[in-house]
Amino acid sequence: MAEMLGNDYNPRGLLEQIYLSPETVLSSDELWLCAWCYRCQKRCPQALKLPEIFLTIRSIAKEQGNTKPFEKALQKIVKNIPLPLVTTLVCFHPERAGLENEKVLEKIGQIRGEWLKTKKADRSTRAAEKVAVIGSGPAGLTVAYELSKKGYAVTLFEALPELGGMLRKCIPEYRLPKKVLNEEIQFIKDLGVEVKTGTEVGKDVCFEDFQKEGYKAVFVGAGAHKSQRLRVEGGDLNGVTHALDFLWSSNSGKKMEIGKNVVVVGGGNVAIDAARTALCQSAKDVTILYRRSREEMPANMWEVKEAEAEGVKIEFLVSPKRILGEKGRVSAIECVRMQLGEPDETGRRKAVPLEGSEFKRETDMVILAIGEVPDLRFLPKEIELNDDGTVWVNPITMETSLLGVFAGGDAVTGPASVIEAIRDGKRAAESIECYLKSEGRAKQ
C-alpha cells in the first residue's frame, strides 16, 4: 500500500502516532489504509501484528462515530487502485471495524462516478500502440485499466469463459460477491478494452503471433492456477480433490458431492477458503491438517481466526502419509505427527516426522491445498524462469528477459495477495508506457 499511495500511507509512522498522539490517529485517513498483507510484520524485528493494532484503533474510531476519515481513505483508494470495490472487500475489510459493506460499496460507486467526470479518457486521441494482456486476474485487469485509461489499445486474453482469473475462480462468494466482481470488470471493459475469453495462449493463439498481429508489448499475468501434487498413496481415490478445482466448482455453481467429514491438507489462504466453503456447503465436520505450527502458517491470520470461529478445526504439526480407501473411495487418512527442526530456505522451521507417531483419521473427503504454481508452458524459451517455475522479471520495471514482454502477479511471485498483484500491475503498466514511448522516439 505504501508503494501505491506514496506519502499517503506509512504503517511505521502510523504506529508511532498511535503512541505519541492517539487522538490525531483517530482522525487520520491513514488508519483505514492497511490492506492486511502483513508485509510490515514480516519486516518488523519484533514481528508486531500491525493490522490487529490498526483494527483496534479503527473500532474505537467507529464507536466514537469518527468515520469521516474513512471516506477520505475511500477517495484515495478510488484514485489510486484500479479495483476499488474488490480490494475494499477482499483486502481492507471494513466490516471488521463494524462498517456495513453494502453502504461502503455504494459510497465507492459515488466517489468513482464523481472522480471519473474529470478523468474520462478521450477516445479520439487513442494511441496506435496495441498491448496484449494474458490473464484477467487482478494484475492483468490493473494493466488493462491503467493503459486503457491513457489511451492505449489493450486486448485481454483469458482462457476461462469469464474474466476475473483467480478472483472469479477461487475467492468464495462470501468474501467477494460475483455481482461486485462483474461490476468492476464491466467498468474496465467500458474503457474500451477488447476481451477474448475462452482463448488459451499456446493453444488457441500462439505467443509468437502477438508481434505479427501488431502488439507492441505483452503483459503476462497468467496467475498460479496449477495445483501442486501430493505424492502419497491413495491420491487418485474418489473423494480426493484439489482445492482449486473444488473452489472453482463451488464458484461456478456446479453440483458437488460434499463429504460429511472433510479433511483439508495445507496451511495457506486457499486451504482456509476451501475449509470454510466446505462448511458453508453441507459438511458437518471440517479439519485442516498443517505440518507446521500456527506461527509458521502462511494463511492470513484473520482468515484463520474467522475460520475457527465458524467451526473449522485445525490440527498443527500433522502431515499426511497415505490416503486409505474402500471400494475406490476415500475412507481414512493416515498421518504422522511432526516436530520443528532448523529453518529452511524460506526462513520457516522444517517439519520433521516423529518416528512411531502414525495415526489414522476417518474421512469421506480430502481436499488438497498444498500450494499452487504457474503453468507457463506457453511462454517462449527466451523468457527466463526462476528455479521455482515463476517468471523472472526486473524487480523495478517488471520486464522479463524478452524485450517488450512484462509480467506480474502470481506468475512472478507465486500465490500472493490481491493487493500485491495490483501493485505489480500498476508498476508494469507504468513500465510498458515508458517502453512504448521510448520505442516511438527511436523510430522518429
Domains of the chain (ranges; CATH) run 2-119 (no CATH), 124-225+374-443 (3.50.50.60), 226-371 (3.50.50.60)
* Cα(293)–Cα(115) distance, integer angstroms: 46
- Quote the cell numbers at residue 374: 504457474
* pLDDT tens digit sequence for 97-117: 899 999 999 999 999 988 877
Q: What are the backbone dihedrals phi and psi of residue 174, each rounded to the nearest 5 degrees, phi first?
A: -70, -20
CB-CB neighbours of 62 under 10 Å:
16
* Cα(87)–Cα(394) distance, integer angstroms: 26
User: Which residue matches cell numbers 476481451?
Assistant: 195
User: Which residue matches cell numbers 467451526?
Assistant: 311
Q: How far apart are the first and last CA of the chain?
A: 38
User: Which residue matches cell numbers 491445498?
Assistant: 369
User: Which residue matches cell numbers 512472478?
Assistant: 412
- Quote the cell numbers at residue 28: 487520520
Rounded (10°) angle between helices 50-63 and 301-310: 70
Q: Sheet holding 215-220: strands in order across?
A: 194-197, 153-158, 130-134, 215-220, 405-407
Residue 203: exposure state from Cβ atoms within 10 A (0-12, 13-18, ≥19): exposed
Dihedral sign for Cα 191, 194, 198, 203, please: negative
Measured CA to CA in angstroms, residue 158 lies from 78, 173, 184, 204 at distances of: 25, 21, 16, 11
pTM over 0.85: yes
Instruction: Return all residues near 149 (Cβ < 8 A) that are at least 6 apart.
Output: 119, 121, 191
SS3 content of the chain, % helix, strand, coil (to 5): 45, 20, 35
Let me know: does 422 contact 138? Beta carbons within 8 Å: yes
* Cα(243)–Cα(247) distance, integer angstroms: 6
Spell out where 93-220 has E strands: 130-134, 153-158, 194-197, 215-220
pLDDT by 10s per residue, the chain, length 444 = 656 666 667 888 888 888 899 888 898 898 998 888 777 877 778 878 888 899 999 999 999 988 899 999 999 999 999 999 999 999 999 998 899 999 999 999 999 988 877 765 545 455 679 999 999 999 999 999 999 999 999 999 999 999 999 999 999 999 999 999 999 999 999 999 999 999 999 999 999 999 999 999 999 999 999 888 888 899 899 999 999 999 999 998 888 889 999 999 999 999 999 999 999 998 999 999 999 999 889 898 889 999 999 999 999 999 999 999 999 999 999 999 999 988 877 777 889 999 999 999 999 999 999 989 999 999 999 999 999 999 999 999 999 999 999 999 999 999 988 999 999 999 999 999 999 998 765 665
